[in-house]
């Protein structure tokens, strides 16, 4: 005879024995613990709008460079200094935008954000954001040339020009370091603070000393310098603001960052250049006397002759 073991236990035991059934569902009161294993990083890369913007600005910079070069051919070589500097500004910008539009001059910055919780382990969020370092190369070349245009217009001394240019280069480089800085540490915003301080040095040399120096020139030149210098400082002040909400705080997308910088670059380079060159053509007092080597090159007239030295 076959004995059912479960029935035997029921008869011999005084305690109820729970018998599992197929209809019962396991329940659990344990709260799920957030995973600390990194998930797939969130990608913040350029999109369609950003790529189109890069190509459009590249074309604008090329056209501006061609127009500035054509304007230079219409005047004597000795008066082309502003034209040469302004043409170089848009040429460097065109090269930078071509690099960014074709996918070069970029790097991926990996960002790790730590989220703290009271009763469970901390969680981590990973972000990969595209940074266009070619933009900083562009700025390190073009902004000193812009300062040189304004310094020549104001008649600044060589010492003030040199210090303004050095402060400007420091501002651009520290901005690049800040863009690749680590999140959650003083490193990133420390570099940003240094860049802002350097910008104040640029303003001091350009606005304070430049205004004092240009007062010795004609009223037309002084008024023109005040207008174009103020325009430049307002546009330049917008750059660190865009950086703060883009690479700094990542409030706007990469496409939004590209569009914002594109508008500022167009204002700071082609618009600035057209304004400077057309006004310069109508105010002869803005000419910078650059004869000799600039216009004619080196000649044998100033060379040392042995017989003149008494040898």
Quick one: DSSP state of residue 238?
H
pLDDT at 37: 47
27-77 pLDDT, tens digit each: 555 555 544 445 677 767 889 999 999 999 999 999 999 999 999 998 888
Average pLDDT, the chain: 82
65: its two tokens: 């460079």
Q: What is the DSSP string of 106-163?
A: -EEEEEEEEE--SSS--EEEEEEEEE-HHHHHHHHHHHHHHHHHHHHHHT--HHHHHH
pLDDT band for 124, please (50, 70, 90 cuts).
Answer: low
Whole-angstrom distance, CA of residue 27 vs CA of residue 228: 73
Mean pLDDT of 2-22: 53
163-207 pLDDT, tens digit each: 999 999 999 999 999 988 877 677 888 999 999 999 999 999 988
Domains, the chain, ordered by start: 42-286 (1.20.1070.10)
Q: Which residue's entry shows tokens 């950003």?
A: 50
133-162 pLDDT, tens digit each: 999 999 999 999 999 999 999 999 889 999
245-277 pLDDT, tens digit each: 988 888 899 999 999 999 999 999 999 999 999
Mean pLDDT of 202-223: 90
């Amino acid at each position: 005879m076959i004995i059912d073991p479960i029935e035997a236990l029921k008869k011999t035991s005084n305690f109820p024995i729970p018998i599992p059934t197929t209809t019962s569902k396991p329940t659990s009161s344990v709260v799920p613990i957030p995973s600390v294993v990194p998930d797939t990083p969130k990608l913040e890369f350029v999109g369609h709008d950003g790529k189109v913007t890069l190509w459009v600005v590249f074309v604008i910079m090329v056209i501006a460079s061609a127009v500035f070069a054509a304007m230079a051919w219409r005047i004597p070589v000795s008066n082309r200094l502003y034209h040469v500097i302004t043409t170089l500004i848009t040429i460097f910008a065109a090269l930078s935008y071509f690099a960014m539009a074709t996918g070069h001059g970029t790097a991926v910055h990996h960002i790790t954000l730590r989220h703290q919780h009271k009763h469970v382990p901390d969680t981590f969020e990973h972000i990969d954001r595209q940074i266009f370092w070619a933009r900083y190369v562009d700025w390190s070349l073009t902004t000193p040339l812009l300062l040189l245009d304004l310094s020549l217009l104001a008649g600044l001394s060589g010492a003030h020009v040199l210090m303004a240019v050095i402060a400007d280069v420091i501002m651009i480089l520290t901005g690049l370091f800040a863009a690749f800085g680590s999140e959650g540490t003083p490193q990133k915003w420390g570099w940003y603070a240094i860049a802002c301080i350097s910008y104040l040095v640029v303003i001091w040399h350009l606005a304070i000393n430049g205004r004092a120096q240009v007062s010795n020139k004609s009223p037309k030149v002084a008024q023109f310098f005040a207008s174009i210098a103020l325009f430049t400082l307002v546009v330049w002040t917008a750059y660190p603001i865009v950086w703060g909400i883009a690479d700094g705080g990542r409030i706007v997308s990469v496409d939004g960052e590209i569009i914002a910088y594109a508008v500022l670059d167009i204002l700071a380079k082609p618009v600035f250049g057209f304004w400077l060159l057309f006004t310069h053509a109508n105010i002869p007092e803005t000419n910078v006397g650059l004869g000799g080597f600039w216009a004619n090159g080196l000649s044998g007239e100033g060379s040392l002759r042995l017989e003149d030295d008494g040898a």
